[in-house]
Chain A
Amino acid sequence: MTDWINVILQGVLVGGLYAMFAAGLSLIFGVMRLVNIAHGDLIVLAAYVALVTTEALGIGPLVSLIIVVPLMAVIGYALQRLILNRTLGEDLLPPLLVTFGLSVIIQNGLLALFTADSRKLQAGDIEVATFKLLEGVYIGILPLLQFAVAIAVIAALQFVFYRTALGRAFRATADSPPVAQLMGLDNRHVFGLAMALSLAVVAIAGVFLAIRADFDPSIGPARLIFGFEAVIIGGLGSMWGTFAGGIVLGVAQAIGAHINPGWQILAGHIAFLIILAVRPEGLFPRIRA
């Protein structure tokens, strides 16, 4: 029994990380109807940026967030203004192909710079610290912190989106780019800020990913897929739905892995396909795709 409680708890806590993968993806899709195929590779890029920062400055990975988050945000803004804004329009092909190209470029660039060796960020004692919840049920401090950060990130995005002038600009541009422009908004700048915010979340997700497990340049696409599955399971356009989607995915993977280690990822995909088959609008939909 405690066995299964442990499995489900671990799944829920990992789900927080998946929700962070998904939040940035969901945000930019909501604002500019763009699916960034390089999203997963940007998460891995953030992990490598954190690796370089921690090694160069001798600081811990959590402290490195102070540098990694703003840096990734600047990269996001530049990426949007210099490349992605040129691809937006009626035609779906250019943004997909350009972000797909970016994905390949980031992957192979990282491979050339850092080789295919697995790396990991060392966070020190906090990595192994746990506390006892029940007899036989232990919770790691780090997974719990990661889960709390995920809740904070989603809450912050929700706040920005619905309670601030920036969020109003996001929603206005999402509803109607031409009207937003007539009201004095510079859409190119608004999209740039959305991508900056998305990559700020990516940076947090990347650092936690890199503390939690080994990473190498090739793991990006799988992170994109996890984030995407969380978005669809949760339902498009709902941030807390995305959070729930991440948890469903995390629990499904944990259960699959518990039955057979080879089934971990497959179980997550199957949960996604079942939701797609029986409830394609997701569990907590706000808008239709």
Chain B
Amino acid sequence: MSVRVAFASRSSRVGMALCAVALVVLAAAPFWGGRDDMQLLSQIYAYVALASLWNLLAGYAGLVSVGQQAYVGLGAYLLFAFAILGGVSPLWAIPLAGIIAALVAIPVAGLVFRLRGHYFAIGTWIIAEVFRLLASQVSVLGGGSGTSLPASMVVGIASTRQMRESLVYWIALALVVAVLTLIVLLLRSRYGLALKAIRDSELAATTNGIDVLRTKVLVYIVTAFGTAMIGALIFFQRLRISPDAAFSVNDWTAFVIFITVIGGIGRIEGPIIGTIVFFALRQTLADLGTIYLLMLGVVAILVMLTAPKGIWGLIVERFGWQIFPLERTVILDDRSAGREKQRPDDR
């Protein structure tokens, strides 16, 4: 009798097939959509990526950060610094920003990981504030009032305007696919199994030889890497940066948290569903301004109190679906009986 672990299930095979179809359709957007469609889709990709990364941090590693705007802003400022001071093409500056942000995240983790649980959350916020205040002291990048990306830098990436817009759109799509793939691979690796064990019981995980702190720091650094690249991309599209916009707690943390909570925290599908709901609501309620944010807060609190697993959690409870092949299923090949026995692992 042999034992193996399978990730895919029938629903995930269907889900992956649908994702592949969606990806082809979305990749062709420059051929079927207008500029507005492409801009809206790019924004959606950015939020799916940011929310997925925050979900990895808070939902899987239990590290509730309210300071991820630190890395959005850092990535964005690095892109501008590379372009303005170093003349580096924005296309190269995006991965470079990610790598540098990951390096910066190492000493930052050394500080904020001294704070436990709730206090960790506020510690991350202070780090973001420090980054914002430091950015407003950098006078070559416009200080407190910010600066714009030189036109030559933008024109340099492609000859025609249409090509540029398509290129930036494809980069956004490629980045969100890369972020989701990275998260799926991480969760399927032994680190993913370790995260699951830590989530169930830190003590039990430790006694099974898992280095809890190291695993969490790894997730924190991976998240900083992804978040900074998305931040760089967002502000490359905006062409203008200022400390208040780049390190905005509302734009890069409040929205991201609400998206994840409403969609379903601790499941990879949650942030995707949440982002779709968020943009659907925004397209209809955008005129309400501050009231929209207020309502979003109310909805998020209601979801947290009544259905803490969010929309996708309810779907999973009802139908047991998973889109991404993540759930580990132990399969016993019982040769003598000639049939497969399956035991889905307990969540």
Contacts and interface: CB of A to CB of B under 8 A. Distances in A.
A266 B134 contact: yes
B257 A97 contact: yes
Interface string A256-289: 0000001001100110110011001000000001
B30 interface: no
Contacts of B117: 33, 35, 92, 289
B297 A102 contact: yes
Given A95-B118, A104-B293, A265-B133, A225 B125 contact: yes
Q: Chain A interface: which size bin?
A: 35 or more
B291 A112 contact: yes
A209 B291 CA distance: 26
Interface residues of B, number: 42
Interface string B62-88: 101010000000000000000000000
Contacts of B137: 262, 266
A266 B128 CA distance: 11
A35 B123 CA distance: 12
B115 A276 contact: yes
Interface string B278-297: 00000000000011011011
A113 to B, nearest CB: 10
Contacts of A108: 290-291, 293-294, 297
Contact of B115 (A98, A100, A265, A289): A289
B4 interface: no
* Residue of A92, A224, A272, A280 with most partner-chain B CB within 10 A: A92
B193 to A, nearest CB: 21
Interface string B228-250: 00000000000000000000011
A101 interface: yes
A8 interface: no
A105 B118 contact: no
Given A95-B118, A96-B121, A225-B126, A101 B111 contact: no
A93 B64 contact: yes
A147 B304 CA distance: 40
A164 B342 CA distance: 60
Main secondary structure of the interface of B (DSSP, over half): helix
B136 A93 contact: no
Contacts of A104: 250, 254, 293-294, 296-297
23 contacts: A87-B305, A92-B62, A93-B64, A93-B308, A97-B64, A97-B261, A98-B305, A101-B298, A102-B297, A102-B301, A104-B250, A104-B293, A104-B294, A104-B297, A112-B294, A222-B129, A265-B129, A265-B133, A266-B134, A276-B111, A276-B114, A276-B115, A289-B116
Interface of B: 58, 62, 64, 66, 111, 114-119, 121-123, 125-126, 129-130, 133-134, 136-137, 144, 249-250, 254, 257-258, 261, 265, 290-291, 293-294, 296-298, 300-301, 304-305, 308
Interface of A: 29, 33-35, 37, 83, 86-87, 92-98, 100-102, 104-105, 108-109, 111-112, 221-222, 224-225, 228-229, 232, 262, 265-266, 269-270, 272-273, 276-277, 280, 289
